[in-house]
Amino acid sequence: MKIEVKKLNALKKYTGVFEYDYQPPEDICLIPLCKVEGSVKVQGSYEIYDDDSVGVNFTVKYSINGQCSYCLKDAKMKVEKAFDILFVTEDDPDNYRYDGINIDLKAAVDDAILFSQPNVLLCREDCTGIDIK
Ligand SMILES: [Zn+2]
């Protein structure tokens, strides 16, 4: 998804909303034996400010499935998390950079998927691991 900042500025459309399905890279899920199922739903809004910085609020929604990190049974979980980021035209370690013309959301959305995923996937909240009887 691209936000065409220069064009939107010319059209005086300083705010807007977007929604799309994003197919993440295969290796985006860091939990062993698990993967992101299908595509990630990305929904959000942007606001272009006077200094050409652009505020973007968005939510990523997706499912992780695979094997429980403790007992290896099939497990699945839904993840939904909101992010609030800023794109600027100069180098700034706290924000995302763009060229002043178009914003490509890919890197920010990939980061959002990385930051929003849990460290483990469990078949149920109180899973204690493989039963040894
Ligand atoms: Zn389990």
Give 79-126 pLDDT, tens digit per residue.
999 999 999 999 999 999 999 999 999 999 999 999 999 999 999 989
C-alpha 27 – ligand 1 centre gap (Å): 22
Mapped onto helix, strand or coil, the DSSP state of residue 21 is strand
- Report the pLDDT value the prediction gives residue 130, as an integer from 0 to 100: 78
C-alpha 33 – ligand 1 centre gap (Å): 13
What is the tens place of the pLDDT at every residue in 48-76? 999 999 999 999 999 999 999 999 999 99
Assign 3-class secondary structure to 24-86: CCHHHCCCCCEEEEEEEEEEEEEEECCCCCEEEEEEEEEEEEEECCCCCCEEEEEEEEEEEEE
Higher local confidence (pLDDT), 79 or 129:
79
Mean pLDDT of 13-23: 97
Reported as half-sphere exposure (CB side, CA atoms, 13 A), residue 57 has a value of 6
C-alpha 41 – ligand 1 centre gap (Å): 27
Q: pTM of the predicted model, to two decimals?
A: 0.91
C-alpha 76 – ligand 1 centre gap (Å): 10
Query: What distance, in Å, lies between the first and last C-alpha atoms of the chain?
Result: 52
C-alpha 112 – ligand 1 centre gap (Å): 26
C-alpha 113 – ligand 1 centre gap (Å): 23
Mean pLDDT of 31-54: 97
Tokens of 106: 């890919």
Mean pLDDT of 32-54: 97
C-alpha 35 – ligand 1 centre gap (Å): 16
Tokens of 14: 């300083």
Q: Is the confidence at residue 133, as pLDDT, over 70?
A: no
Mean pLDDT of 12-28: 96
- Report the pLDDT value the prediction gives residue 10, as an integer from 0 to 100: 96
Task: Please state the domain extents for the chain.
Answer: 2-116
